[in-house]
Structure 1
Amino acid sequence: MSSGTTAAGNAESPKRRALGKGLESLLPLRPRPAEATPPAVEAAEPVETGRPREIAVGLIERNPFQTRTRFDEQQLDELAASIAATGVVQPILVRPLGGDRFQLIAGERRWLASQKAGKTTIPAMIRAVSDEQAMEMTIVENLQRTDLNPMEQARAFERLTREFKMTQEQMAQRTGKNRASISNFLRLLRLPVEIQGRVEAGELSFGHARALLAIEDPAMLIKAAQKVGALSMSVRQTETFVQGLLYPELKAKDEEKNKAEAVDPNVREAQERLQRALGLKVRIHDKQGRGQVVIEYARLEDFDALLEAIAG
């Protein structure tokens, strides 16, 4: 699928930017004048350079665009111990707020751990960026670390849509994720709050949640999620379970048909692979290499997702 137009004021390459290029690819450095390493920033107006500067931790404010909502306290304590022993290895990223204040863009764990370690200053790179750029850089930095839970990612993409009017194509360009993945993350926000909490807590995976989304009735969905958790179903088992709930008559027919005729193992494997890939019920009727592939969908959204997956 071709990528969409980028957000206003940000020229983009027509090729999707890969996550591995890092934050610097989002905001190239300005040419810096030749000068000695600057002293720690305390109350002076910052000058954007390519070198980290020591900034007092008390002058830095939390990032309001932070997409991560949970920090593991044990890991934070371990990082604090490391910083106390060897210092901060990778500078944080901040932007000036005016006067002597700064706002975090990336590196909140390092900032919090530095305070736990009793550090009074922290090395930081200063960038003069807009709210949109700061939020974009925060999301990309977190996605690069791959430790956001699915609900945190869903809310991050929703915030880009709500606050900055970005299309899914534009978000795909900025984050390196494909449009179909972003669409699937955003669909998670349709889950009941109770189920969202279970996904956020790691009790249900992204695959489980995606399979459960086929159920439109909230009460049925909650009961199904409870059964999936109670039986520790795999994603594949959840998909089969959901299809059975939605199409009980087809399930009964399939069971009768399976009893009546043996299915070739190769055909069954291909059928199951297609069902896992598409998230929809698939039946293959094969007779000596000729036959039909039947894909069933219950909603227009499922059809759109199928069209996207096949046609691109």
Structure 2
Amino acid sequence: MAKTATRPKPTNLKKTEAAGSATPDAAADIRLIPLDQLEPSPLNVRKVAASASDDAELLSSIRETGIKQNLVVHALSESRFAVDAGGRRLKALKQLAEDGIIPSDHPVPCLVEDERNAILTSATENLQRAAMHPADQFEAFDKMIGEGRSEDEIALKFGVSVDLVRRRLKLARVAPEIIEQFRAGDLTLECVMAFTLTDDHDRQLAVWNAVKGGYHIHPQSIK
């Protein structure tokens, strides 16, 4: 394990994604810990799992742009560490290793804290993070673009990646009526993104009317 004053560029991954909260003043204490030495912490306060669509989007984002924010861990032994903050990022990285995208011992930037701080760290990360609905993100980003701001400026302002900003702005291609169904929980993000294959709102609405009565609406059926 090595210490570094800056976050390392991930092996076999491109740029970085803001996927969680970094701990203040952590940069000087960041260690690179092999992925296969990390495991979920039983002290993580998040018990209700994120939605499958949220996990899928995080996995896709990390695959394409890497991981930016360090995990926060406590030592179980000299070679085992429990992740108190960043469990979803850990899950995504483990999946990428299982898929052969990154090696099983891929170095992951981690802040090692005392186990006594684990619950406080986990609670702080989860309580301070109130993710915006993707439709709300789209509207906010779209308004800022209308004000003449760049995608880079928006990403910096909201603490997200430029890639996420671009994905949200694709929702501008979707009919407002479908966006409202998304807000109401009648459609997943993957289904909404399937409608972006065309800019023709009339065609989108025709497809929506054809599939909305189904028991399970799948992105492939929309495409």
Taking structure 1 as the reference length, the TM-score comes to: 0.30
| Larger RCO: 1 or 2 (CA < 8 Å, sep 6+) | 2
